[in-house]
Structure 1
Amino acid sequence: MTTRILFVCLGNICRSPAAEGIFRRLAPDVQCDSAGTGDWHIGKPPYGPMQQAALARGYDLSTLRARQFHAGDFDAFDLILAMDDANLRDIEGLRPTGNETPVRLFTDYTDDSTADHVPDPYFTRDFNEALDLIEQAAKGLRATL
């Protein structure tokens, strides 16, 4: 059975599509997708500066399109990974009664004990910092599968 993983951030234009693109490269045998807890960017490609920073590392995010997280994702995925605590709370707020799909912070898969979230580069403007942490977490996640 194929493992299905969903990466979730706020708008689905920076962190979660980057995580999806990076993890697809590391684990082509895993089905993955990304979503945002907000609805501002539905149908839009990842944010231009994030696409550029990712492409500089060899990750092409241009075919990805933003979508909003919904309660049905709990049944569609085996693991849901949030980029920060606010996303985690929003995801859990939509959990159907009785559903047991694990929801964790993506940074749980890093070996950096000080990394408790992936900073949002849409606001920090530090796309490389976010990509460094996403790559580290993606490698840690891959090692657990």
Structure 2
Amino acid sequence: MTRILMVCLGNICRSPLAHGVMQSKLSETEFYVDSAGTAAYHIGNAPDKRSIRVARDNGLDISHQSARQFKVSDFDTFDYIYAMDHSNYDNIISLARTNEDLKKVKLFLETHPSIENKNMPDPYYGDQSDFEYVYTLVNETCDILAKQLQA
């Protein structure tokens, strides 16, 4: 089974959306998808209500997810670790123990060829339209990643 981890800062906005969208595009018998945050701000909380809403508006239920913090043992558990922006990428890389750990970490938007800025915008301080934009980027990128992972 291939194991995929989506990581943002607090694990309530971007990574729960990426978790839910990616999970919807892959076979649960072949892939396991989870999400985490590099900070401990929201441990145990459900995703932001605006993330839940935009997911629901697109046919996904992410309300059952619970925020957790990225931990070093995630390098042992997951085959692919996707960071939502450079700051979170750097935070994850700083915890890597080996070159094998480093090879697992990628910027989520690296696979999206038409996006120049590889930092997924953080919609937390924005409004619902910011969450809708992030959902669009996440959905497009997950389509690309799902095709690559299934190939």
Q: What's the TM-score, normalizing by structure 2?
A: 0.91
Q: Which residue of 1 aligns with 2:23?
A: 24
Counterparts of 1:78-93 in structure 2, within 5 Å, are 78-93=79-94
Counterparts of 1:37-116 in structure 2, within 5 Å, are 37-100=38-101, 101-116=103-118
Measure how far apart 1:98 and its partner are.
4.8
Structure 1 segments, 4+ long, off by >3 Å, are: 97-101
Q: Answer yes or no: is 1:118 the counterpart of 2:111.
A: no
Gaps of 5+ in 1: none
Q: CA-to-partner distance for each residue in 1:62-119, whole Å, 9 max, x for gaps?
A: 1100000011000100010000000000000111235434210110121314141211
Measured in 2, the distance between the counterparts of 1:61 and 1:26 equals: 14
Measure how far apart 1:5 and its partner are.
0.5
Q: Which residue of 2 aligns with 1:15?
A: 14
**Aligned with 2:146: secondary structure?**
helix
Q: What is the aligned-residue identity percentage?
A: 40
Gaps of 5+ in 2: none
Q: CA-to-partner distance for each residue in 1:38-76, whole Å, 9 max, x for gaps?
A: 001000000001111111011110110000001100010
Q: What's the TM-score, normalizing by structure 1?
A: 0.94
Q: Answer yes or no: is 1:134 the counterpart of 2:133.
A: no
